[in-house]
Structure 1
Amino acid sequence: MLLEGIETLLVLAEAKTMSKTGSLLFISQSAVSKRIHNLEKKIGKKLIEPQGRYVRLTNDGNALIDSIGPLFDELRGQIYEQSLSEHSKSLIKIDCSETLISGYFSGLLASEIQSDRYITLSTNHTPRIIENVKSGKATMGLCAGFLPLHTGLLTFHLFDEHFYILSNTPLATLPDQVITTDLSNSANAYQSVILDKLNIKPAMQLDSYNAAVHLALSGAAPALIPLSIIHTLSIDRAKVHRFSELDELIRPVHICVRQNNYNLSRVKDLVQKFCDYAHDSMTNSDTIDLDAQTKV
């Protein structure tokens, strides 16, 4: 089927190999190859080509994804909406930023999972969370960082998280370089502008705040770390430095959900619980007292 071929091409574009694509789609590697071949035959264009151990999309393959990908995701989202219902056994999947679970929401999420065994979690970076909610792979998303301007989703702003400089030695002024998270991630790209304005260069860009913390504490370079990580790892406050120049460097936290999914009372109740929890637990506590251990 044409839709099967498009779905397979979309997964292959991310997975890069036939075998991984097959694993993600729960089909054999030969079935992946057959689907792609049938799609190429249908549209009369070569869509993929080998690149060493991997497979890459041709220009025609990328053009097809750019034009059809968003529409396909919307179609999958609408199909997924039909599977959701007010029935208590309808599965609700929450796709989350890992740092937000560990830093703030583990208690709330644990409580909801214990009371409703048809709630499940996954973790991803914010751009992927947005994609998963739009395509119906997730019912709702808990996102950290700035969202795209036009997501087509309902978004609920929970709070803004502040950043701090972590260093194993005392800092009287802002360092001239810091370890950052991956600034090519669209949710984090805004940090580059602010850091550049402060004449701070990224010493290295990592995909893990946990790795950045350990490198900073080992003396590699200071690191730019959000409050949730400081709480999660119980970092010694003597190593944490706050500078007023960084006050505009915040990480917005949002819930996102498709409109039709939000119309379901179970989903709407969950969104409201996140909003209430953020308001009750985090009002006036999105900064830390560096002279004492504090809890958000």
Structure 2
Amino acid sequence: MLSYLEALEALFNTGTMGQAATRLRLSQSAISKRIASLEEKLGLTLIEKNGRRVNLTPEGRHLLERLQPLLAEFRNALQAEPSQHIGRLTLGISESVLSSWGARLLAETCNQLPSLNLEVHAHRSPVVVDRVLSGEYQLGIIAGAADQAQTLFVQEILREPMVLVPKNLERLPAKREGLNVITIESRSGTWSAIEKRCQNLGLVREREMESFFGVIQMALAGFGHGLVPWGVCEALRLESKTLSHFSMNELSRPISLIARPTTIARQLPSLFLKTLVEMAPILVTSRFP
């Protein structure tokens, strides 16, 4: 029965049989058979086709809403560690964080916990939230606002300042108010966290991208000024003197660790968080301009 419910959950999260199969490392026919078997056992219609996508029926959504917390707790129980310092953790992390300073922070945290086996997966922050909620990942490190994570434990690790990359690396106007910028898309956690502050500063988003690295490349190619986190500029080795930096109080995005409350109450996840918070000022915050 668990495998049937996992197939339904994967289909809900991905929207297509193919993506659900990829996520569970199964064939599409296996996903279809599991859903059909679950419908037969329950006597309910759980899915309906909508063009190329597959949606859950109201009965399917209701079933999943009731059972998702139980699925997550079951996965948690299977991942229990044998001792405080030894065990395996699965972590989802924002792509922009991992691709900049995040990998260094994770490496040093693991050095402090040599018996830890850390499995790392990179996604956009909203995907990380979804997979922590479902219990697929025990921990998550997300960038920006954690709007979806109301039922999760959330602890801010640090705040990362934002940076303006001038168009063609030319000098920016002295007055930032009314300045048009290219930055991250509306669905991102970072934009949710900085949108109001950008408005207060008079920054106007004229174009949005799905990737901060894409924003920088567009700025370098002359499409406009790019608004990105400091770490992404550092990862691309852009010279600090060519950039326009915001102070932490002016414009920054929160970076937070998330987990289910029952997960963070356990020894190993709690120790991982404590070590991560200790390492962040040494490896990351101290490098901010």
Post-superposition offset of 1:212: 0.9
The worse-fitting range, judged by mean Cα deviation, of 38-47 and 163-172 is 38-47
Post-superposition offset of 1:183: 1.2
State the alpha-carbon separation in 2 of the partners of residues 105 and 198 from structure 1: 28
Post-superposition offset of 1:21: 2.0
State the alpha-carbon separation in 1 of the partners of residues 87 and 246 from structure 2: 47
- Determine the structure 2 residue equivalent to 1:257: 259
- Determine the structure 2 residue equivalent to 1:29: 28
Post-superposition offset of 1:72: 3.2
Q: Deviations over 1:85-124 (max 9, x none)?
A: 3326642111111222233232332245562362111111
Post-superposition offset of 1:220: 0.8
Contact 1:113-1:120 within 8 A present in 2 as well: no
Match of 2:228 among 225, 228, 250: 225
State the alpha-carbon separation in 2 of the partners of residues 66 and 239 from structure 1: 51
Match of 1:212 among 205, 210, 215: 215
Q: Secondary structure at the match of 1:56?
A: strand
Q: Secondary structure at the match of 1:272?
A: helix
Q: Secondary structure at the match of 1:191?
A: helix
Which runs of 5 or more structure 1 residues have no equivalent in the other structure?
289-296
Post-superposition offset of 1:187: 4.8
Q: Kindly tell me: are residues 199 and 76 of structure 1, through their superposed partners in 2, closer, same or farther at Cα, counting changes over 3 Å?
A: same
- Determine the structure 1 residue equivalent to 2:71: 76
Contact 1:162-1:250 within 8 A present in 2 as well: yes
Post-superposition offset of 1:202: 2.4
- Determine the structure 2 residue equivalent to 1:201: 204
State the alpha-carbon separation in 1 of the partners of residues 271 and 116 from structure 2: 16
Contact 2:141-2:257 within 8 A present in 1 as well: yes
What letter is aligned with 1:151?
Q
Match of 1:86 among 53, 70, 81: 81
Contact 1:195-1:201 within 8 A present in 2 as well: yes
Match of 2:99 among 102, 106, 130: 102
Contact 1:83-1:90 within 8 A present in 2 as well: no
State the alpha-carbon separation in 2 of the partners of residues 18 and 64 from structure 1: 19
- Determine the structure 1 residue equivalent to 2:240: 237
Q: Deviations over 1:142-198 (max 9, x none)?
A: 111011275322222111111121112211222632111111235522433343445
State the alpha-carbon separation in 1 of the partners of residues 57 and 255 from structure 2: 32
State the alpha-carbon separation in 2 of the partners of residues 132 and 140 from structure 1: 9
Number of aligned positions between the proteins: 280
What letter is aligned with 1:241?
S
Contact 2:46-2:57 within 8 A present in 1 as well: no
* Percentage of matched positions with identical amino acids: 20
Which runs of 5 or more structure 2 residues have no equivalent in the other structure?
none
Q: Kindly tell me: are residues 64 and 159 of structure 1, through their superposed partners in 2, closer, same or farther at Cα, counting changes over 3 Å?
A: farther
What letter is aligned with 1:75?
L
The answer to whether structure 1 residue 152 and structure 2 residue 154 are counterparts is no
Structure 1 runs of 4+ aligned residues shifted over 6 Å read none
Q: Kindly tell me: are residues 112 and 161 of structure 1, through their superposed partners in 2, closer, same or farther at Cα, counting changes over 3 Å?
A: closer
The worse-fitting range, judged by mean Cα deviation, of 11-20 and 218-227 is 11-20
Contact 2:94-2:125 within 8 A present in 1 as well: yes
State the alpha-carbon separation in 2 of the partners of residues 78 and 261 from structure 1: 9
Q: Kindly tell me: are residues 63 and 187 of structure 1, through their superposed partners in 2, closer, same or farther at Cα, counting changes over 3 Å?
A: farther
TM-score (norm 2): 0.83
Q: Deviations over 1:15-43 (max 9, x none)?
A: 34323322322333222223333445545
Q: Kindly tell me: are residues 72 and 108 of structure 1, through their superposed partners in 2, closer, same or farther at Cα, counting changes over 3 Å?
A: same
Contact 1:19-1:29 within 8 A present in 2 as well: yes
Q: Kindly tell me: are residues 255 and 39 of structure 1, through their superposed partners in 2, closer, same or farther at Cα, counting changes over 3 Å?
A: same
Post-superposition offset of 1:139: 1.5
The worse-fitting range, judged by mean Cα deviation, of 202-211 and 276-285 is 276-285
The worse-fitting range, judged by mean Cα deviation, of 12-21 and 154-163 is 12-21
Match of 2:282 among 276, 280, 283: 280
State the alpha-carbon separation in 1 of the partners of residues 139 and 46 from structure 2: 36
Mapping of 1:131-142 within 5 angstroms? 131-142=130-141
The worse-fitting range, judged by mean Cα deviation, of 71-80 and 87-96 is 87-96
TM-score (norm 1): 0.81
Contact 1:127-1:187 within 8 A present in 2 as well: no
